[in-house]
Structure 1
Amino acid sequence: MLRPDDPERNPMTTAPSCELTILMPCLNEAETLETCIRKALGYLERAGVDGEVLIADNGSTDGSQAIATGLGARVVDIPEKGYGAALIGGIEAARGVFVIMGDADDSYDFSSLDPFVEQLRGGAQLVMGNRFRGGIEPGAMPPLHKYLGNPVLSGIGALFFKPGVRDFHCGLRGFHRAAILGLGLRTSGMEFASEMVVKACLARLRIVEVPTTLKKDGRSRPPHLRSWHDGWRHLRFLLVFSPKWLFFYPGVAMFGVGVLAAVLLLFGPVEIGSVGFDVSTMIYAMAAAVLGYQAVLFSILTKVYAEHEGFLPAGPRFRMITDRLTIERGLLTGVGIFLVGLVVAVLQVIRWGDTGFGELDARTAVRVAVPAALGLMLGFQTMMSSMVVGILTIPTRGGTNPAAPEPSVAALAS
């Protein structure tokens, strides 16, 4: 059994010595592990594929390790707990040019891997199984997962990242080992399944999908998966890795609606049917504009930080904008917006002084104060965010992207 400090675990020193590694994460799978290994070994022999069966053991206490080694499989010990941690360790220890991974609960058929191998040999870098196309046996997938969890999460993943696959979370998938190692996968839990697809999409890997079947697993104990908890972790991961959908698009919508409403109410009350809108609505519209603008700034800060640290790649449009817009220009833009608001505020005070600083008409005063306050707040936010961007992009010896250009917070279209 390989230990974590074994040099063979180092992906930089593990040279491919066979074509295919069939990888199974394992945590107390003694009931079904033998069946899975026999099917995998049988496939390698039947198909004439030069390969190995690798068990990434995550601390089994039921004798799974002995079962695996007794059948001729290789076992690597992964002390860090978690589905993702086991698979990352297994991928690093794999000896194959290609890796096909799948659960060791006998829910996937390791004796029918020909479509995966065919696509990998044809140049695909990630081959996803599709259980909905291949068939889901009765009882193999809980109704909550089949009709809500998987369709919703797969739909969100397809909308955000456009991977070209419809089953985002199928556990049976094959890939080119070097290409996947190059993605720098990090998550240790169930969201590893999403991270692999998301980062493969962002890295523009060639992704294809093949039908596969899912049958009821052969275990007598409940699965490790926790529906709501792990579903939320998948959704959270998808949102965090898509600043546009988490911050930018909602922010633009809020900002646009807020500014539009404020401008319309600047010239007087507006009535729609029997409902009237006046200065109180104008104040809420200003708040919506400020919140929306802040969300847009968050999207930019998130993108800059993630790109600088290597979490997310920068797209060509983002690069084009950041090449032209510097921090200094962002600061000047913020100062300009701030000064516009300040001038409006000063003019209102001067006009108030012309009346002897007496009582003002509240509605008239608010209609002037709202755009002035909006300019002051947006200008200040722009200046401060520009400085934060400057801090995030300071080159460091340990940084992943020290040569990256300094983008401005005005790069809103990225």
Structure 2
Amino acid sequence: MKAVTTDTNTVDVVLPCLDEAEALPWVLARIPAGWRALVVDNGSTDGSADIARALGATVVHEPRRGFGAACHAGLGAATADVVCFCDCDASLDPTLLAPFVQEVREGATDLVLGRRRPSGRGAWPAHARAGNLALSLLLRRRTGLRLHDLGPLRAARREPLLALGLTDRRSGYPLQMVVRAADAGWRITEHDVPYLPRTGASKVTGTWRGTWQAVRDMSRVLNEAPVRERTAAR
């Protein structure tokens, strides 16, 4: 296998994408200068991949459906030392990642998460907030972390992320990242970020059914034994 050369001078932003043609121009225009946008097309039928490519993004194709599948494909394609994740629906502003990256580079923390604060009518439906609150409480019980949100806006170093051995390829991916990072002793911080009304229909939490499916996916992650216990059982 060819070795991946780490680029320490730039940042890769992983943008999982499923039919986000309308939102892509706004999102990509707000990627900080010098950073690389990795748009992971997860089976779009609205021309999202072509739009992203025309706007200068690097497009990664991931045929296996699932939020985690798209995120992990982007992580695997990344070469920068620091990797960020952001939704591709215009609900979160990629410019907000700049201070996250600075914290990671300065060694002040290992993983930075954005705590979503609704800004505008319909930015965060009640059912989605309820599901997030339930998972935050379960996460606190499992890890002791006093986090308030499991939002997708985040930054960390690429190689340690890969070393976590993330396996979830559905909605549990963001939670599994936090759980395994906590088990590994990472320093995890959280900062408030504005959460805007998304462009288009949500693929995960747009309905009560979708929200609770995500909760079920994440509950499975919370029931995983810590890595040290899984290793000892072998």
Common fold, TM-score beyond 0.5? Answer: yes
User: What is the deviation of 1:61?
Assistant: 1.8
In the alignment, is residue 59 of structure 1 matched against residue 51 of structure 2? Answer: no
Any unmatched runs of 5+ in structure 2?
Answer: none
Show the counterpart of 2:24. Answer: 33
Give the distance between the partners of 2:10 and 2:202, measured in 1 at CA.
34
8 A contact 1:33–1:104 mirrored in 2: yes
* Aligned positions of 1:31-110 closer than 5 A: 31-40=22-31, 43-44=32-33, 50-110=34-94
Show the counterpart of 1:184. Answer: 165
Structure 1 stretches of 4+ moved >6 Å:
none
Give the distance between the partners of 1:154 and 1:129, measured in 2 at CA.
14
Identify the structure with bigger relative contact order (alpha carbons < 8 Å, sequence gap 6+).
Answer: 2
Give the distance between the partners of 1:79 and 1:103, measured in 2 at CA.
18
Give the distance between the partners of 2:119 and 2:6, measured in 1 at CA.
34
Rate the CA distance shift 1:303–1:92 in 2: closer, same or farther, 3 A: closer
8 A contact 1:130–1:212 mirrored in 2: yes
Question: Once the two structures are superposed, what CA deviation does each residue of 1:292-335 show, in whole Å capped at 9, x if it has no partner?
Answer: xxxxxxxxxx975x224xxxxxxxxxxxxxxxxxxxxxxxxxxx
Give the distance between the partners of 2:191 and 2:228, measured in 1 at CA.
33
Any unmatched runs of 5+ in structure 1?
Answer: 1-6, 45-49, 243-301, 309-391, 394-414
Pick the aligned partner of 1:138 from 107, 112, 121: 121
Give the distance between the partners of 2:54 and 2:211, measured in 1 at CA.
34
- How many residues align? The count is 228
8 A contact 2:14–2:39 mirrored in 1: yes
Give the distance between the partners of 2:137 and 2:38, measured in 1 at CA.
32
Give the distance between the partners of 2:66 and 2:56, measured in 1 at CA.
25
| Richer in helix (by share) | 1
Amino acid in the other structure paired with 1:109: D
Show the counterpart of 1:129. Answer: 114
8 A contact 2:101–2:156 mirrored in 1: no
Q: Indicate the structure (1 or 2) with the bigger Cα radius of gyration.
A: 1
In the alignment, is residue 158 of structure 1 matched against residue 149 of structure 2? Answer: no
User: What is the deviation of 1:63?
Assistant: 0.9
Question: Once the two structures are superposed, what CA deviation does each residue of 1:18-70 show, in whole Å capped at 9, x if it has no partner?
Answer: 42111100111111112111111xx22xxxxx421111111212111111111
| Richer in strand (by share) | 2
Question: Once the two structures are superposed, what CA deviation does each residue of 1:177-208 show, in whole Å capped at 9, x if it has no partner?
Answer: 11111101111000001100000000111211
RMSD: 2.0
Amino acid in the other structure paired with 2:192: P
Give the distance between the partners of 1:303 and 1:104, measured in 2 at CA.
35
Give the distance between the partners of 2:179 and 2:58, measured in 1 at CA.
29
